[in-house]
């Protein structure tokens, strides 16, 4: 056994060594081509050559010396790449920008901004896109399939800048104007309710009688809900409350159990309902913990508490198959705790909207944070967090809508291909119920071709969302790359390029390793 483990470690080490060598070679070749193309296509001294400054010659000579412009581009590249290789022994250096600032420092400030911008959008797009895509595959040729296929193709064809402009116009400017007098007129309420009913009726499969029942029920219910929210001024004093948290918690319990094991699995159902009860019962006791002095660690502690208690319940409820039972309880607790945290943010919305920094226009169109907040407001975790959330809404929605469509199409096609495999027919012939066939056999194998896409998307978004960052004025990697192109800043350009290239090749390595974990047929060889 010891020799077997040692052999596997040696094989893995040899594989990683070979892959890292290839990664370094790829980065070297790609960066060499990019550096020379950038050097040939741009002239950093063009602006100074047309200047009327008296010390123009001095400034130009200083720029030539600082950027080594008197050296041919192929040789100049090796001077720059020496700083990259120095990172192997902890002396990573990407040179200076034209303004004299360190490229590493500029990238260090931009990466967290881009990460904060794209991580939520990427996760939402992946979760929603894959979930809906697989449901459309299961319900192929149903009304739900047709509706979601139409929506995904529509979103897939929309340019990101156009989506961003529409979001600014209606979700920011229009919604802010609405909050000044939050009353929904009947001329808007009735058509909006009918459209919501039509969409839900189209999504729900069934005969014509069920279609009209869903259409009428959703239209009336949604219209009544909007009227209630309008009358109670909910939009300027939002909240979920313990009743809303309880409704969401038990709805999540039923949904998670249905997907995971089925509602007929009594231990899993009891665990999920117990998890929902724990979260709902902890609403008022946790309000004291979630005070103005709370922090991100406090929020994590709340999640850890509810998840831990749910895991204990799942362990003691089931005598067999405890892993599935615990998983059901943990997922339920995780989802059920989210509305409680959201409710705590909502409690600060009215004060935030009426503060001098916001001027009753809470949804911003530009920027990544409000600099006019007072020090007291910045020290309040909930107000500062709410400010960050409000600035994230528009770019997150824009990025999610565009990426969501692609994941829907990819996941649908992948699952349809898997469901036509021989082993799926064999599983059904052996008597396995449809849920087990789809969840344990179909979905897991359908995720295999999506693995590379998912991992590379995470790497790609860190490289920057140029259009989104430009439209919403976020100073991330995309804006930095755009700045480097417009100002003929080669060191800054190559700094962003080398980070993006490194993330891309690393993502490919991670995808290959993940394949070996997900697919037991794949093994690493020398």
DSSP output for 6-70 = HHHHHHHHHHHHHHHHHHHHHHHHHHHHHHHHHHHH--TTHHHHT---TTHHHHHHHHHHHHTTT
Each residue of 418-453: pLDDT tens digit?
Answer: 888 888 888 888 887 777 788 777 887 887 777 777
DSSP-assigned beta bridge partners for residue 181: none
**Among 113-122, 140-149, 166-175, 198-207, whose mean pLDDT is lowest?**
198-207
Looking at per-residue confidence, does 95 or 392 come out higher? Answer: 392
Distance of CA 29 to the CA centre of its chain: 31
**Region 398-419: what's the mean pLDDT?**
85
Looking at per-residue confidence, does 44 or 283 come out higher? Answer: 283
What's the pLDDT at 275?
93
pLDDT grade for 52, boundaries at 50, 70 and 90: low
pLDDT grade for 64, boundaries at 50, 70 and 90: confident
Among the listed residues 441, 437, 458, 449, the one whose alpha carbon sits nearest the alpha carbon of residue 412 = 449
Are 158 and 402 in contact, with CB atoms under 8 Å apart?
A: yes
Are 124 and 396 in contact, with CB atoms under 8 Å apart?
A: yes
What's the pLDDT at 90?
66
What's the pLDDT at 302?
92
Q: Is the dihedral of CA 387, 391, 394, 398 positive or negative?
A: negative
CA distances from 442 to 212, 439, 506, 520 (A): 33, 6, 28, 15
State the pTM of this model: 0.81
Neighbours of 256 (CB within 10 A): 26
What's the pLDDT at 53?
67
- Which 3-state string (H, E, C) describes 430-477? CCCCHHHHHHHHHHHHHCHHHHHHHHHHHHHHHCCCHHHHHHHCCCCH
Extract the tokens encoding 220: 């009336």
**Among 46-50, 175-179, 232-236, 353-357, whose mean pLDDT is lowest?**
46-50
Distance of CA 56 to the CA centre of its chain: 48
Each residue of 311-356: pLDDT tens digit?
Answer: 998 888 877 778 888 889 999 999 999 999 999 999 989 888 888 8
Q: Using CA atoms, how far apart are residues 120 and 464, in angstroms rounded to an integer? A: 14
Q: Using CA atoms, how far apart are residues 365 and 227, in angstroms rounded to an integer? A: 28
DSSP string, 253-278: HHHHHHHHT-TT-HHHHHHHHHHHHH
Among the listed residues 260, 238, 407, 380, the one whose alpha carbon sits nearest the alpha carbon of residue 323 = 260
Query: CB-based burial of residue 142 (10 Å sphere; 0-12 exposed, 13-18 middle, 19+ buried)?
Result: middle
The answer, yes or no, to whether residue 484 has pLDDT greater than 80, is: yes
**Among 2-6, 129-133, 158-162, whose mean pLDDT is lowest?**
2-6
**Among 278-292, 347-361, 384-398, 457-471, whose mean pLDDT is lowest?**
457-471
**Which distant-in-sequence residues (6+ apart) come within 8 Å of 158 by Cβ?**
401, 402
- Percent of the chain whose pLDDT exceeds 90: 12
Q: Using CA atoms, how far apart are residues 87 and 94, in angstroms rounded to an integer? A: 10
Are 278 and 245 in contact, with CB atoms under 8 Å apart?
A: no
- Percent of the chain whose pLDDT exceeds 70: 91
Neighbours of 131 (CB within 10 A): 15
Are 245 and 302 in contact, with CB atoms under 8 Å apart?
A: no
Each residue of 292-318: pLDDT tens digit?
Answer: 888 889 999 999 999 999 999 888 887
Extract the tokens encoding 329: 């309880």
Q: Using CA atoms, how far apart are residues 95 and 98, in angstroms rounded to an integer? A: 10
What's the pLDDT at 165?
86
Q: What is the mean pLDDT of the chain?
A: 82
**Region 169-187: what's the mean pLDDT?**
85
């Amino acid at each position: 056994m010891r020799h077997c483990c040692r052999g596997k470690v040696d094989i893995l080490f040899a594989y990683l060594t070979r892959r890292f060598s290839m990664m370094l070679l790829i980065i070297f070749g790609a960066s060499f081509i990019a550096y020379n193309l950038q050097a040939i296509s741009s002239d950093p001294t063009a602006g100074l050559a047309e200047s009327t400054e008296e010390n123009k010659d001095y400034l130009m000579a200083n720029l030539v010396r600082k950027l080594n412009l008197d050296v041919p581009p192929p040789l100049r590249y090796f001077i720059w790449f020496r700083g990259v290789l120095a990172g192997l022994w902890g002396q990573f250096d990407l040179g200076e920008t034209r303004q004299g600032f360190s490229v590493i420092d500029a990238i260090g400030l931009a990466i967290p901004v881009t990460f904060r911008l794209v991580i939520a959008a990427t996760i939402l797009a992946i979760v929603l896109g894959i979930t809906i895509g697989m449901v459309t595959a299961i319900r192929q040729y149903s009304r739900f399939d047709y509706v979601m296929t139409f929506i995904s193709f529509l979103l897939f064809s929309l340019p990101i800048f156009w989506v961003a402009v529409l979001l600014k116009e209606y979700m920011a400017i229009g919604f802010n104007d609405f909050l000044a007098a939050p009353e929904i007129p009947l001329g808007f309420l009735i058509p909006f309710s009918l459209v919501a009913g039509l969409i839900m009726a189209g999504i729900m499969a069934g005969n014509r009688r069920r279609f009209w029942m869903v259409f009428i029920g959703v239209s009336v219910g949604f219209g009544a809900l909007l009227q209630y929210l309008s009358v109670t001024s909910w939009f300027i004093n939002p909240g979920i409350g313990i009743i809303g948290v309880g409704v969401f918690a038990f709805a999540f319990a039923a949904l998670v159990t249905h997907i995971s094991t089925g509602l007929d699995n009594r231990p899993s159902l009891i665990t999920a309902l117990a998890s929902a009860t724990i979260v709902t019962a902890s609403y008022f006791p946790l309000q004291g913990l979630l005070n103005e002095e709370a922090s991100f660690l406090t929020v994590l502690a709340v999640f850890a508490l509810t998840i831990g208690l749910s895991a204990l319940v799942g362990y003691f409820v089931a005598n067999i198959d405890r892993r599935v039972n615990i998983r059901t309880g943990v997922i339920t607790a995780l989802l059920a705790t989210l509305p409680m945290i959201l409710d705590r943010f909502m409690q600060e919305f009215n004060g935030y909207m009426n503060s001098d920094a916001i001027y009753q226009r809470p949804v911003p169109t530009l920027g990544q944070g409000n600099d006019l907040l007072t020090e007291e407001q910045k020290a309040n975790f909930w107000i500062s967090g709410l400010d960050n959330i409000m600035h994230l809404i528009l770019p997150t929605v824009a990025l999610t809508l565009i990426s969501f469509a692609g994941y829907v199409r990819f996941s649908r096609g992948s699952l349809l291909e898997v469901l036509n495999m021989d082993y799926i027919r064999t599983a059904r012939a052996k008597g396995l119920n449809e849920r087990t066939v789809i969840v344990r056999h179909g979905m897991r194998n359908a995720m295999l071709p999506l693995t590379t896409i998912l991992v590379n998307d995470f790497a790609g978004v860190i490289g920057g969302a140029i259009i989104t960052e430009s439209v919403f004025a976020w100073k991330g990697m995309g804006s930095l790359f755009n700045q480097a192109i417009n100002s003929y800043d080669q060191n800054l350009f190559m700094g962003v390029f080398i980070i993006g290239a490194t993330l891309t090749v690393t993502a490919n390595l991670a995808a290959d390793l993940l394949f070996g974990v997900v697919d037991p047929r794949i093994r690493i060889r020398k």
